[in-house]
Chains A and B, each alone.
Chain A
Amino acid sequence: MVLGNYKSVVAARSTDNEILKGAQDGGIVTQLFAYALEEGIIDGAIVAGPSDEPWKPEPVIATTKAELLAARGTKYTLSPNIALLKEATRSYGLDRIGIVGTPCQMQAVRKAQLYPIGMRDVPDKIALAIGIFCMENFPYQSLEAMVEDHCNVKLESVKKLDIGKGKFWAYTERGAVAQIPLKVTHKYEQPGCHVCLDYVSNLADVSTGSVGAPDGWSTVFVRTQNGENAWGKAIAAGCFETKPIEEVKPGLDLVTKLATEKITKNQKTLEARATFGVGKGLRNPYI
């Protein structure tokens, strides 16, 4: 159950070299949205686009492949994608919304669908919600400290950021690689992440992430009927190369291990919150 409900899971990557060039892993999100846009499964997608500041994402509604390409790559800081969810149905006039987000943002999408309190017309217009795996996130100023102070690299010169193999990595445009142990980054984590009980976006239509798959590939869970429809069509159209997850290393075992670790650790945090004070506790959103 730490991996949520799903219909199928594979290792996959896009067959489009242009997408793969700037993709974080297998280019799953960019490719699936590009295909869904082209096929009219969605008429726009809320993605983490570029902003004025380096590596600070700005939620945007992409209606072209070029805009999707501009949003490739993981930014390890907050992109409040849900802030555009209602607006997508208003001034943008979308009827079939695509949205990508972290597990907590997928939770926000489903809450908006089941309990639309300030989200008129949103529930029926979510066409494809793609969730990414997420262990934790960082405020922008944390990212600055991690990259500029700890990695000693200017944010402007960074080509790619990555968390993997127990380290935080910064790759520069000119080919330098800096890395720091993850334990250095822990104090910079967003505190709200420490009560999160979802690693692999259990509530998405399709969820994807790097863990479990080889470099350049992604692990993909297909979870809902909506997800299966879009994924099935995209596969039939030749958008993706896939491998059974059992045949790749490190495979689902590692995903399960990390998911269990995250949930166990954060459940402990939740328990500690209940008795945080003297005869008093902090609020638990889940009860």
Chain B
Amino acid sequence: MDVEKKVEKTKEEMPVVEKITVGHVHLSGCTGCLVSFADNYEGLFKILDDYADLVYALTLADVRHIPEMDVALVEGSVCLQDKSSVEEIKEAREKAKVVVALGGCAAYGNITRFCRGGQWNQPQMESYVPIAELIDVDLYIPGCAPTPQQIRNVCIMAYLLLKGNDEQKELAGAYLKPLMDLAQRGDEACGCDLMYDVINQGLCMGCGSCAAACPVRAISMEYGKPNIDRDLCIKCGACYAQCPRSFFNFDVMNEFEGISELIKGVME
């Protein structure tokens, strides 16, 4: 594939200066999203060697304040009663070209939707909101945890979008579009999405993707349709995002073989 060759070439000629800068901003999250990023194993090193400099990540590096960056991977939701958290998310928006809500908490609130305060020693910390309640978010990576492969794909595509040639930019733009559309769609998620936006819309065809995607096995397929145990659901947004009837972009999907090869190629 041409794109693959071009990526290789760009990388060979300009190994360091052409990297994008990426930061990990940790709000009210569990660090599981960052662990998921690290679970790309040698793939993470490949990304850091060739495509991205990690300019900020309190867990991994000693940079104390949010710097300028191309991509901010924001993990966790925001506690409205925690002043520094509110400041941080605003600062992340100011300093980053692209803000990514990494994982269910940043995108949809996830388990922090259930917070209601009353615990020592900050009983007043009771209100948690997904980051899009406070800032504009460019792109969502839903899931609790988000998958290493999805984070990897977004990093590669962000690199191509910011540093690639026209053809690469076009591919990356097409790839990232549905994840950007998810960010536009809203910041509320639940197993109920399968009812509101798939079954109730006459779109469910009973494939079972939602049941596989659910991290807490809250979805079972009964007579071919999802049945949601809403008291088990943690509101991560994975089921709807994984459903092939939430978004299915034929322009990208029809190229699945070439794109898979491209990703494999740049990670080698």
Contact = CB atoms under 8 A, between A and B. Distances in A.
B207 interface: yes
A86 B212 contact: yes
Given A79-B224, A192-B204, A117 B141 contact: yes
A202 to B, nearest CB: 7
Contact of A110 (B149, B208, B215, B256): B256
A101 B207 CA distance: 9
Contacts of A197: 250
A87 B209 CA distance: 11
Given A112-B242, A285-B245, A195 B147 contact: no
A132 to B, nearest CB: 13
Contacts of B215: 118
Given A80-B207, A81-B207, A83-B211, A116 B238 contact: no
Contact of A113 (B36, B211, B250, B260): B260
A197 B146 CA distance: 30
B195 to A, nearest CB: 13
A286 B213 contact: no
Contacts of A192: 202-206, 245
A85 B147 CA distance: 15
Nearest to A136: B205
Contacts of A114: 153, 175, 252-253, 256, 259-260
Contact of B213 (A59, A86, A224): A86
Task: Bin chain B's interface residue count.
Answer: 35 or more
A119 interface: yes
Contacts of B239: 118
B206 A78 contact: yes
A123 interface: yes
Contact of A118 (B175, B225, B242): B242
Contacts of B202: 191-192, 194-195, 273, 282
A157 interface: no
Interface in A32-65: 56, 59
A100 interface: no
Nearest to A107: B244
Task: Bin chain A's interface residue count.
Answer: 35 or more
Given A114-B252, A114-B260, A190-B224, 10 more contacts: A5-B254, A78-B223, A82-B211, A86-B212, A117-B147, A117-B238, A118-B143, A118-B239, A119-B242, A141-B223
Interface of B: 36, 141-143, 145-150, 153, 175, 178-179, 197, 201-209, 211-215, 221, 223-225, 236, 238-239, 241-242, 244-250, 252-254, 256-257, 259-260
Interface of A: 5, 56, 59, 77-87, 101, 104-105, 107-108, 110-121, 123-124, 137, 139-141, 190-197, 202-203, 224-225, 273, 282-283, 285-286
29 contacts: A77-B224, A78-B205, A79-B224, A80-B207, A82-B209, A82-B212, A86-B213, A104-B207, A108-B208, A110-B253, A111-B209, A112-B242, A114-B252, A115-B150, A115-B241, A116-B149, A118-B142, A118-B212, A118-B241, A121-B147, A123-B149, A139-B225, A196-B205, A225-B257, A273-B202, A282-B202, A283-B197, A285-B244, A285-B248
